[in-house]
Homo-oligomer: A and B are copies of this chain.
Amino acid sequence: MATDQPQSDGAPSETYSEFATRVKRIANVSNAAGILQWDQEVVMPDEGTPARAQQLSTLSSISHELLTADETGELLEELESAALTDEQAAVVREVRRRYDRETSVPQELVEEISETTANAHPTWKQAKAEDDFETFAPTLEKLVELKREYAHHIDPDADPYEVLFSDYEPYIDLETAEGVLERLRDELVPLIDAIDESDAELTTDAFAGEFDDDDQETLARDVLDSLGYDWSRGRLDTAPHPFSSGTQFDARVTTRFEEDDLLGSITSTIHEFGHANYTLGLPDEGYGTPLGEARDLSVHESQSRLWENHIGRSRPFWEQFLPTARGRFPGLEDVTSEDAYEAANQVHDDNLIRVEADELTYHLHIVIRFEIERDLIAGDLAVKDVPEVWNDKYEEYLGVRPETDAEGCLQDIHWSHGSFGYFPTYSLGSVLAAQLYAAAEDELGGLDARIREGEFDDLNGWLRENVHQHGKQYTTQELIERATGEELTADHFLEYVTAKYGELYDLEV
């Protein structure tokens, strides 16, 4: 990076260096907070919360203060009128964007949102446990109001939902995202209907049984070994809600084990590997600046889904990996790789729960949330009407109506975090995963054969070269175009699922 910094135009070596020092400081504080969060989820004793909450709040306010300080603004202005390398300009662009957003929202509002969401979490949890939407409704109303206010501060002229969406996905415009979601809805609904009407009977019980936690952990390590996880820069632990976090020097995976869900622990481990593997592919020398940070949520999710779905749910993967699984669980000896492949790819159109959804219906869960939260933020839908609208949409898109709000509109945690605009990035991630996988197949050829050999180096090399190593140097759309030669498109995802599920369910495609 920055090997050819021009010295013309009063070149700002010193200014840039001062700026970079400040940016790295902020990154170090945030990365320290990341370790504290990992610790809290994975190893912290139960009663550690009061101190941990204060530590995290302090780190968060310090990094906010460092970012929004006048000095940051002055350095940005100076650098924006100076000659910079492309890499430097990218760092300035990214920091400018964060600076503008964080300085435009009054600190009191940030704190009110933070306090409201802190209290919203237990309220949501209780409402879900008691299946009582009315308990949560006032909080949800308050959060909708606060987040609209927040969006207004950032850009009073923009659609507030678009502003919120861009918190998670700054470089894909909402129109593009909406277009993708509409296409998914329009093309997946008939595909799922066709599957529902198909006579094909997939093996459902390949992974039925009880599986010991310790053996599941051993197998999860086998999976990570076989995908090429770098243990010298990572580790595997368990957490109630699996996640991956860290930096290019230390990107950790968590997973969870349930006695009756071996397949779930394998796919979840592969998913989190995809996230960690992206982080590990960021350039070491970029640590501390946006050049060493992952592009945003959609790209991150593309990496987890590429590994989870295009590899972990593929036929050649099970041909290669099943013998290892049989080695750990002799009870699987009669399961064939075809059984395993079918078990990993069943479509359940009567499932109400997003996190248990298959590769196809998943996106209808997302579309429903997207349509509802967009209308909520626009003021076109009242909070009190959410449960009915939710249930109507499930009936319309998936042909199944939730009987309770607990398995309906209260199922997900996101709104209690005030995270409106987050859900679409899940579907964008799947779509981009398919687009990247198709581009890698075009360039490398024979990916199936490599997977069947347990040979992932070439694919991972391609991802490193075309995605990981660039950090945030390019905007998301630039990154996608450079890697795949085209703009973000749902074409490849739809081709992939049509072919895969057409074959699995004997559809006439």
Residues of A within 8 A of B (CB): 24-25, 28-29, 31-33, 35-36, 39, 43-52, 54-55, 57-59, 62, 230-235, 247-250, 252, 284, 287-288
Closest CB in chain B relative to A447 CB, distance in Å: 29
Q: A45-B250, A47-B250, A249-B51 are in contact. Are A59 and B233 (CB under 8 A)?
A: no
What chain B residues lie within 8 Å of A39 (beta carbons)? 35, 39
Given A35-B39, A51-B247, A249-B49, is A28 in contact with B235 using a C-beta cutoff of 8 Å? no
14 example contacts (A-B, Cβ-Cβ < 8 A) are as follows A24-B54, A25-B58, A28-B55, A28-B58, A32-B32, A32-B36, A32-B58, A32-B59, A35-B36, A35-B39, A45-B231, A46-B232, A46-B233, A51-B247
B47 & A232 in contact (Cβ 8 Å cutoff):
yes
| Chain B residues with CB below 8 A from A59, complex form | 28-29, 32
Contact (Cβ within 8 A) B235 A45: yes
Majority secondary structure, A binding face: helix
Q: Are A250 and B52 in contact (CB under 8 A)?
A: yes
CB pair B29–A58 under 8 Å, yes or no, is yes
A232-B31 contact in complex given A62-B62, A288-B54, C-beta closer than 8 Å: no
Q: Find chain B residues with CB under 8 A from A51 CB.
A: 31, 247-250, 287
A307 → B minimal CB distance (Å): 20
Residue of B nearest to A292 (CB): B51
* Complexed CA–CA distance, A47 and B51 (Å): 29
Interface centre among A33, A39, A249 (most CB of B within 10 A): A249
- Which B residue's beta carbon lies closest to that of A51? B249
Q: How far is the CB of A297 from chain B (nearest CB, A)?
A: 22
Most central of A58, A252, A287 by chain B CB within 10 Å: A58
- A52 contacts which chain B residues (CB < 8 A)? 249-250
Given contacts A250-B51, A287-B54, contact A232 B29 (CB under 8 A): no
Contacts of A284 in B (CB 8 A): 50
The reply to whether B233 and A45 form a contact with Cβ atoms under 8 Å apart is yes
Contact among B25, B46, B62, B231 with A29 in the assembled complex (CB-CB below 8 Å): B62
**Do B36 and A55 touch across chains, with their CB atoms under 8 A apart?**
no
A28→B50 CA distance, assembly (Å): 11
Chain B residues in 8 Å Cβ range of A247: 51
Q: How far is the CB of A31 from chain B (nearest CB, A)?
A: 6
CA A44 – CA B31 in complex, angstroms?
Answer: 14
- Interchain CA distance A232-B52 in the complex, whole Å: 14
The answer to whether A249 and B31 touch across the interface, beta carbons within 8 angstroms, is no
| B residues near A232, Cβ cutoff 8 Å | 45-47
Closest to A26 in B: B58
* Bound Cα distance from A252 to B28, whole angstroms: 24
- With A and B bound together, what is the CA distance between A234 and B44 in angstroms? 8
B43, A55: Cβ atoms under 8 Å? Answer: no
* Residues of B contacting A43 in the complex (Cβ-Cβ under 8 angstroms): 43, 235
Docked Cα-Cα span, A244 to B252, in Å, equals 24
In the complex, which residues of chain B have a beta carbon less than 8 angstroms from the beta carbon of A45? 231-235, 250, 252
Output the nearest chain B residue to A31 by Cβ-Cβ distance.
B55
Complex CA distance for A62 and B31, rounded to whole angstroms:
15
- Known contacts: A48-B249, A233-B45. The answer to whether A54 contacts B28 by CB under 8 A is yes
Rounded to whole Å, the gap between the CB of A437 and the closest CB of chain B is 28
A44 to B233, CA, bound (A): 8
